[in-house]
């Protein structure tokens, strides 16, 4: 029995590696960060916008996130009266302390970058499928010289929605989204440790291989519950 136990211990990691797929990888991520991920995050952000791959504008944003699906962006100062609220599956734009636009549009990055740890796991899987990720597809790859797992694609070059996960930290470092003959790409870099979790501090976004926006975070602060009124469109200007 002792010899058998040692052999099982020796071969178990290899067996688990072979059995890894998109669903079991998500289980592994969930097991590591569920009940450990910060429930809120605030940071300052320099936002650079590009056209034809050239910088055309730079703004300072102040952002607050309450997981799983609330994000408020105040543009050019916390009291500027201008910004955006992402709330559940909707987006609200406000200018001069008035809502000027409201559309049904989920910010799925909140889900990828922490929100998924605040819902029951079966809902996490359902959400990925609703976002058109094929969880039967999976492969290992490298990204910028580091090993990654890829959720949603069986090989590099597939034109399907996919999320690239750092094998060590188990956090997203890249996503690809294909919709309406367009290719969106996002890169999440320069992660810093936050207690038992992480935060990216640089994000770059591309459309059809052209750079659109670069975001650089500073004063990144994890925390507990935030006042939900700040995410309520009805409270803008009050």
In a domain, 120, yes or no: yes
pLDDT tens string 64-112 = 999 999 999 999 988 899 999 999 999 999 999 999 999 999 999 999 9
| Lowest mean pLDDT segment, chosen from 82-91, 140-149, 229-238 | 229-238
Residue 136's domain comprises 22-219
Instruction: Evaluate if residue 2 carries a pLDDT over 80.
Output: no
On whether the pTM is more than 0.85, the answer is yes
Per-residue pLDDT, 238: 80
Instruction: Evaluate if residue 139 carries a pLDDT over 50.
Output: yes
Please count the structural domains in the chain.
1
Please tell me the number of Cα atoms within 13 Å of 134 on its side-chain side: 13
Return the higher-pLDDT residue of 14 and 142: 142
In a domain, 10, yes or no: no
Per-residue pLDDT, 18: 52
State how far the Cα of 86 lies from the Cα of 32, in Å rounded to an integer.
Answer: 26
Phi and psi at residue 75, to the nearest 5°: -90, 125
- The alpha carbon of residue 44 and the mean position of all alpha carbons in its chain are separated, in whole angstroms, by 17
Q: Which residues make Cβ contacts (< 8 Å) with residue 20, sequence separation at least 6? A: 28, 138, 149
Instruction: Evaluate if residue 118 carries a pLDDT over 70.
Output: yes
Q: What are the beta bridge partners of residue 46?
A: 60, 216
In a domain, 195, yes or no: yes
pLDDT tens string 17-51 = 458 999 999 999 999 999 999 999 999 999 999 99
pLDDT tens string 191-222 = 999 999 999 999 999 999 999 999 999 999 99
In a domain, 40, yes or no: yes
**Residue 196, domain CATH:** 2.50.20.10
State how far the Cα of 86 lies from the Cα of 72, in Å rounded to an integer.
Answer: 6
Pairing of strands 162-166, 172-179: antiparallel
């Amino acid at each position: 029995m002792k010899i058998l136990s040692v052999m099982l211990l020796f071969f178990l990691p290899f067996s688990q590696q072979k059995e890894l797929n998109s669903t079991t990888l998500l289980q592994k991520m969930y097991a590591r960060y569920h009940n450990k991920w910060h429930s809120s995050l605030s940071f300052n952000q320099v936002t650079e916008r590009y056209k034809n791959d050239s910088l055309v504008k730079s703004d300072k944003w102040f952002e607050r996130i309450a997981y799983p699906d609330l994000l408020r962006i105040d543009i050019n100062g916390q009291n500027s009266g201008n910004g955006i609220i992402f709330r559940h599956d909707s987006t609200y734009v406000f200018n001069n302390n008035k809502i000027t636009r409201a559309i049904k549009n989920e910010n799925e990055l909140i889900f990828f970058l922490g929100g998924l740890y605040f819902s029951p796991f079966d809902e996490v899987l359902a959400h990925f499928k609703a976002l058109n990720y094929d969880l039967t597809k999976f492969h290992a790859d490298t990204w910028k010289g580091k090993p990654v797992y890829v959720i949603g694609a069986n090989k590099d070059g597939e034109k399907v929605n996919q999320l690239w996960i750092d094998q060590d930290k188990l956090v997203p470092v890249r996503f690809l989204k294909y919709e309406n003959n367009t290719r969106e790409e996002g890169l999440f870099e320069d992660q810093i440790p936050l207690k038992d979790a992480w935060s990216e501090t640089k994000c770059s976004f591309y459309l059809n291989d052209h750079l659109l926006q670069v975001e650089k975070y500073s004063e990144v602060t994890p925390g507990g519950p935030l006042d939900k009124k700040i995410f309520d469109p009805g409270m803008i200007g009050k």
